[in-house]
Amino acid sequence: MTALMTIKKLSWIHWMKARYKVIVDEFASAIQLGHLPAGTRLTTHRALASERAISLATATRIYSELETMGLVRGETGRGTFVREILRPLGSGDDQQRVAPDVLDLNFNTPSLPEQADRLRSALRQLATRGDIESLLRYQPYAGRLNDREAVASYLSNMGVVTQAKNVLMVNGAQQVWR
Q: Which DSSP string do the residues of 16-62 spell out, in sequence order?
A: HS-HHHHHHHHHHHHHHTTSS-TTPBPPPHHHHHHHHT--HHHHHHH
On whether the CB atoms of residues 65 and 27 are closer than 8 A, the answer is: no
Q: Residue range 30-55: average pLDDT?
A: 90
Task: State pLDDT tens for residues 119-158.
Answer: 778 888 877 776 777 777 777 778 888 889 999 998 898 8
Domain encompassing residue 44: 6-104
Residues 6+ apart with CB under 8 A from 108: 92
Backbone angles phi, psi at 25, to 5 degrees: -65, -40
Q: pTM for this structure?
A: 0.43
- Give the pLDDT confidence score for residue 97 in this predicted structure: 57
* Residue that is last in its domain, among 52, 83, 104: 104
- Give the pLDDT confidence score for residue 111 in this predicted structure: 59
- Give the pLDDT confidence score for residue 98 in this predicted structure: 59
* pLDDT of 89 strictly over 70: no
Q: How many domains does the chain have?
A: 2
* pLDDT of 80 strictly over 60: yes
Q: Residue range 62-74: average pLDDT?
A: 89
Whether 159 and 82 share a structural domain: no
- Give the pLDDT confidence score for residue 32 in this predicted structure: 84
Closest among 147, 148, 127, 128 to 136, alpha carbons compared: 127
- Please give the span between the terminal C-alpha atoms of the chain, in angstroms, as a whole number: 74
Residue 132: inside a domain: no
Whether 87 and 148 share a structural domain: no
Residue 145: inside a domain: yes
Residue 72: inside a domain: yes
